[in-house]
Chains A and B, each alone.
Chain A
Amino acid sequence: MAHFGVIRFPGSNCDDDALHIVNTVLADRGSTGEILWHKEHSVGQVDGLIVPGGFSYGDYLRAGSMAAHAPIMESVKAFAKSGGPVIGICNGFQILCESGLLEGALTRNASLRFICKDIYCRVEGRPTPFTKTIPAGRHIRIPIAHAEGCYRHPDVERLEGEAQVIFRYCDAEGNVTADANPNGSVNNIAGICNAAGNVVGLMPHPERACEAVLGRGGIDGLSLFESVLDSLANSGVAR
């Protein structure tokens, strides 16, 4: 049994998709979820948090910059500090970076284009609740859909040294190449985690690759949600 909170900001548009995964697709694993409105001051009794994609606050000023200061974020920070698993997807990743829960920043794609397509990324780095059960080095196919996914970090060598790079854009064979980098991110970085490992952010959309009837039929995205369910079950902590 695990209960997830999906945070909804004005302009979120992947919130219902994420809720559908935890509420319906994974219901037989005992997973449930609820939407949490950004004006709430508490995330309540949840086992995990999903900060979904979209265009919170119309991407005003910088993507994620307004949402990072929404009332609910103090409670999100407290939940993260207590070790609870938090995942930020696309705009959610931008929000987690802007709020300081994750390091670095996301800026305009090098091509200046909004890119919407399936990509491959290699799962690596330290174990996180969302990747623990995915064999290290495996590459998964999931879609991206963003205009501001170019990842920057002032000291990327340290981030690499701490094994905080969790997802890296690669080709269909799993090779990390310049051609496989869709947006100009430093070191092909598609996703990272915080120093403690419980907060993960990525630009690709795992929630859009969980059911064979949708998209190109891949279900590689499901592995992230199954992983967090496994780690919550094994931690045996009822929050």
Chain B
Amino acid sequence: MKAKVYVTLKSGVLDPQGQAVGRTLGKLGYEGVKGVRIGKYVEIDLEGDDPKLAEEQVTKMCNELIANTVMENFRVEID
């Protein structure tokens, strides 16, 4: 089984990286870019075949290490 984890900055947390990418997109001529937020994508290969258990396990991993919940949100998908 594969877990896909999306880590994103909470709204309100300054994302200077996203802002820089947004500005550069503007310079490249892309109009209508209202904002860019940059996050992380993590893939985890897991043993076992119980998606519910896997989701619980990966959620625990995110809270403990993969995301810093002071400034980040995360979403877990199990494939």
B interface residues, tally (CB under 8 Å): 10
A69/B71 contact (C-beta < 8 A), A110-B14, A110-B16, A111-B16 known: no
Stretch at the interface among B26-34, B47-55, B62-70: B62-70
> Do residues A112 and B20 form an inter-chain contact, with CB atoms below 8 A?
yes
Asked if A184 CB lies within 8 Å of chain B CBs, one says: yes
Stretch of A84-92, A115-123, A149-157 with 4 or more beta carbons under 8 angstroms from chain B: A149-157
Residue A65 lies at the interface, judged by CB distance under 8 Å to chain B: yes
Give every chain A residue within 8 A of B66 (Cβ-Cβ): 61
B65 touches A107 (CB 8 A): no
Residues of B within 8 A of A124 (CB): none
Q: How far is the CA of A152 from the CA of B71 in the complex (A)?
A: 8
Q: How far is the CA of A139 from the CA of B4 in the complex (A)?
A: 48
A237–B9 CA distance with the chains assembled, in angstroms? 44
Instruction: Let me know if B17 is at the binding interface, CB within 8 A.
Output: yes
Q: Contact check, B13 vs A107: say whether CB atoms are below 8 A apart.
A: yes
Cross-chain contact of A98 among B14, B17, B20, B68 (Cβ < 8 A) = B68
Per-position contact with B for A151-165: 1 when CB-CB < 8 Å, else 0? 011100000000000
Tell me whether A229 is interfacial, beta carbon within 8 Å: no
Q: Are B17 and A108 in contact (CB under 8 A)?
A: yes
Complex alpha-carbon distance, A184 and B78, angstroms: 37
Q: Which residue of B lies closest to A69 (CB)?
A: B65
Q: A107-B13, A110-B14, A184-B14 are in contact. Are A62 and B20 (CB under 8 A)?
A: no
Whether the Cβ atoms of A108 and B68 lie closer than 8 Å is: no
CB distance from A111 to the nearest CB of B (A): 7
Expressed in whole angstroms, the Cα–Cα distance for A152 and B13 within the complex equals: 8
Q: Is the CB of A107 within 8 A of B20?
A: no
CA distance A61 to B65 in the complex (A): 9
Q: Give Cα A56–Cα B68 distance, bound, in whole angstroms.
A: 17
Among residues of A, the one whose C-beta sits closest to the C-beta of B38 is: A108
Q: What residue of chain A has the Cβ atom nearest to residue B42's Cβ?
A: A61
- Which residue of the partner chain, among A69, A112, A154, contacts B16 with CB atoms under 8 Å? A112
State in angstroms the CA–CA spacing of A136 and B12 once bound together: 32
Measured CA separation A135–B66 after assembly (Å) = 41
Residue numbers of B with Cβ under 8 A of A are 13-14, 16-17, 20, 65-66, 68, 70-71
Contacts A65-B65, A108-B17 known; 9 new A-B pairs at CB < 8 A: A105-B68, A107-B14, A107-B71, A110-B14, A110-B16, A111-B16, A112-B17, A152-B70, A184-B16
Q: Return the 9 tightest CB-CB contacts between A and B, nearest first.
A: A105-B70, A112-B16, A105-B71, A105-B68, A152-B71, A110-B16, A108-B16, A62-B68, A107-B71
